[in-house]
Amino acid sequence: MASLRLSPDATRLVAVTQSLNPDGSSYGTALWEVPLDGGEAVRLTASAKGEAGAWFAPDGDVLFVSRRPDPTVKDGDDDVPALWLLPPRGESRRVANRPGGISAARAAGRTVVYAANTLPGDPETEQDRRKARKEAGVSAVLHEGYPIRYWDHDLGPDAVRLFTLDGRDLTPDAGRALDETSFDLTADTVVTTWRVPLPAGESRTDLVAIDVATGERRVLATSDGHDFSGPLRVSPDGRRVACTRERNSSQTVSTAADIWVCDLSTGEGRAYDHDLFAMDMAWSPDSKALYVVADHRGRRPIFRVPLDGSDAVRLTPDDGAYLEVNPAPDGSVYALRSAVGSPPTPVRVAPDGSYTTLGSPGVAPALPGTLTEITAMADDGVEIRGWLVLPASASAEDPAPFLLWIHGGPLGSWNDWSWRWNPWIMAARGYAVLLPDPCLSTGYGQAMIDRGWGEWGPATAGDLMAITDACLKRPEIDETRIAAMGGSFGGYMANWLAGHTDRFQAIVTHASLWNFEQFAGTTDASQYWQREFGEPGSELYTRLSPHRHLEQISTPMLVIHGDKDYRVPIGEALRLWWDLRRTNAEAKFLYFPDENHWVLKPGNVVAWYETVLAFLAQHVLGEEWVRPDSVA
C-alpha cells in the first residue's frame, strides 16, 4: 500500500496499492476503497496502465493520474499520464491532459490545480514540437543552469508548471523553479515551494503563494540559511500553511529541520522546533494542531503538535512506523502503519493511541524469526540502539551466522518494513541480521546527528562496531561467521569497513560512495554535498574517502550498482570495481543497466537477493560458489 486518503466528509478511505502483475516481471497499481468499519477492501479501478496519486475533491470525487486510454477520444495520446476523475458512483472520466503528462493534482472548493511537464514557448504548438523532436531523433538538452538531472531522470527540455483544470497556466515563468515541487491550495490560492537559482550553482527554496484568478505570485517565506520543502499542507480553514524548514549545513554546522507555519495573508510565520524531522504531516480538522510523523528511537510515531506553543505529544506508544496521516473530526487518525516486522496496512488510531487494523488487499507474510531490540554503549558514552532479527532456528547449540546491515541516508533509521532491504529473507536462510542506528541517524535528537557530522567514517564505524560486539556476545549468534552490507551511505560505510578491518568474511556494497572528489561533482545535487564537505580539495575529501584505503582491503566484496543511479552515479562502482581488479582483490560486480539508486524491477530484485545470498553462502557459510540462475 503506497498512499491513503480520507474524504473531506470523513466517510471514505481510498488507497493506492502496488502488486505484481500476472506476467511476474512488472508491477501494477490500482485504487482500492478501505471500509471504515473494518470490512474487506474493495477494488475501484483496474487498467493495464495503473493508477496513482489519488486525491479527494471536496464533493467526494476522486482525482487520480493514469496512462489508461480514454475511450471517448479517437486516436488519443496514451503515452503520457492524464488526470482522471472517479465519482462515488459511476465510471472514471478524463478531465485534463497535457502533451508532457500530468504528475499530481490538488482540489479545494471548486478549484483544481495540477502539475504538468511543459516545454517553453507557445502552448498551442507544444504537441507538434514534441512530435517533431521525436521524429527527428533529437534527445539533446542544452543546459544553462544547475541541476541537470534528478535521481534517475534527466531534467529538460521541459519543466514542471502548475495549471488550473481549464488549462490556464499559473506559472508561465517557472523555469526549473518547480522541479520536485510540493504544493497545496485553498479555493483561491496555490501554495508551493519555489526553487531560486543562486550564483556558483547554489540555490534556495522559498515558499510562495499564487493567486488562482490572476496568477500573481508573492513570497510567503524565504531565508538565506534555510530551504522550505514538503510535506506542505494548507489548514482546513484556509488561513495557514505548514511545511518543513531545513537549515543549510556547512562543514561545521549540521543540517536540522523544524516545522514552519505561516499566515497565508501576511506571510508571518514561526518555527516549531520539537526536534522532529517530519516525514509526513496533516492538520487537525479544527486547524489548531498538526499531526506529524517523525522517526523516534527506531519507531515512527504520530505526534500531535499544538500551535499554541505547548509541547508535542506522542499519540502512538507502540512500535509502529506511521505514514499517510488523515485526522478525522472525531479525534481519530487514519494512517498506514508498518514496522520492521510488518508491511504497511491501513489502521484507525483512536484518541488514546490504540489502533485498529482495517481491511487491506495485501496479506502480511509469516515471519521466519523474531525481532528483538538491542542496545550498546559507544566509546563516548552514548547509547546506540538497533533491531536484531533472529532466525527461528537460532540457538546456543546452533548459533546463526551474522549480518550487519547499515542503513542509507545518512539521515535515516531502521524502523519500518522494506521490500528492498528485507531482513526476513535473510532470516529465512538462517542469518541473524542487525539493523543498527549509529550516529547521523534520525529519531535521537540533533546531538546524534552532530556526533557524526564531518566524521562519517570514523565516528559511524565506532558506533557500528560497538553494537556489533554486543550482538556477537549472544550465545545464539556465531561470532566466527559474520558479514557486513549496506546501500548508499550504508554502502559507503561498507567500503569504509572493508578498508579498516578484516573481521568480516564478506562485504556487500550497494550504490556506494567510493571516491569522494569524483562523486562530489557527478551526483545530481553537488551543491548539497559541497555545503557539508567544502569545495573539492578540502581536507574532508581526503580524510573520509574510502578509496584512500584500497590497499588495506582483504575482505571479499560484492559490488552492486545501477546505471540509472544519478544520486550516486555509476562511476563510483566502475572506479571501485577497477580498483579492486587492479589490486587483485577478491570481488564480484553485479551490474543493473536499467535500475536507479534502488533495484525495482521484480526480476532484478530476485537476481539481487539470489546473488547476495550466493556470495554470502560462499564466504560466510563456506559453501561452493554457485552462480544463480537469474544471472546465468
Cell 508498518, residue located: 338
471 HSE (CA, 13 A, CB side): 36
In this prediction, residues 223-241 reach a mean pLDDT of: 96
Query: What's the confidence (pLDDT) of residue 78?
Result: 62
- In this structure, how many other beta carbons lie within 10 angstroms of the beta carbon of residue 518? 19
Query: What's the confidence (pLDDT) of residue 193?
Result: 98
Q: Decide if pLDDT at 75 tops 70.
A: no
Q: Decide if pLDDT at 73 tops 90.
A: no
In this prediction, residues 419-434 reach a mean pLDDT of: 96
Band the pLDDT of 74: cuts 50, 70, 90.
Answer: low
Using CA atoms, how far residue 136 sits from 118, 132, 143, 629, in Å, is 19, 6, 20, 41
In this prediction, residues 382-399 reach a mean pLDDT of: 97
Query: What's the confidence (pLDDT) of residue 79?
Result: 82
Query: Whole-angstrom Cα distance, residue 270 to residue 263?
Result: 9
Q: What is the pTM for the complete model shown? A: 0.96
Band the pLDDT of 364: cuts 50, 70, 90.
Answer: confident
Query: What's the confidence (pLDDT) of residue 619?
Result: 98
Q: Decide if pLDDT at 56 tops 60.
A: yes
Query: Whole-angstrom Cα distance, residue 490 to residue 173?
Result: 40
First to last CA, the chain: 33
Q: Tens digits of per-residue pLDDT, 15-45?
A: 999 999 988 889 999 999 999 988 999 999 9
Query: What's the confidence (pLDDT) of residue 70?
Result: 87
Query: Whole-angstrom Cα distance, residue 26 to residue 602?
Result: 6
Please state whether beta strands 313-314 and 321-327 pair in parallel, antiparallel, or not at all (unpaired). unpaired
| Residue 517: strand, helix, or coil | helix
Query: What's the confidence (pLDDT) of residue 72?
Result: 80
Asked whether the beta carbons of 103 and 84 are under 8 A apart, the reply is no
Query: Whole-angstrom Cα distance, residue 244 to residue 278?
Result: 7
Grid coordinates belonging to 69 = 486510454
The angle at the Cα of 178, spanning 177 to 183, to the nearest 5 degrees, equals 135
Query: Whole-angstrom Cα distance, residue 174 to residue 479?
Result: 57
In 3D space, the residue among 97, 280, 104 whose CA is nearest the CA of residue 184 turns out to be: 104
Grid coordinates belonging to 209 = 503563494
- For 389, the enclosing helix (H) or strand (E) is strand 383-391
Q: Tens digits of per-residue pLDDT, 477-520?
A: 999 999 999 999 999 999 999 999 999 999 999 999 999 999 99
Query: What's the confidence (pLDDT) of residue 410?
Result: 95
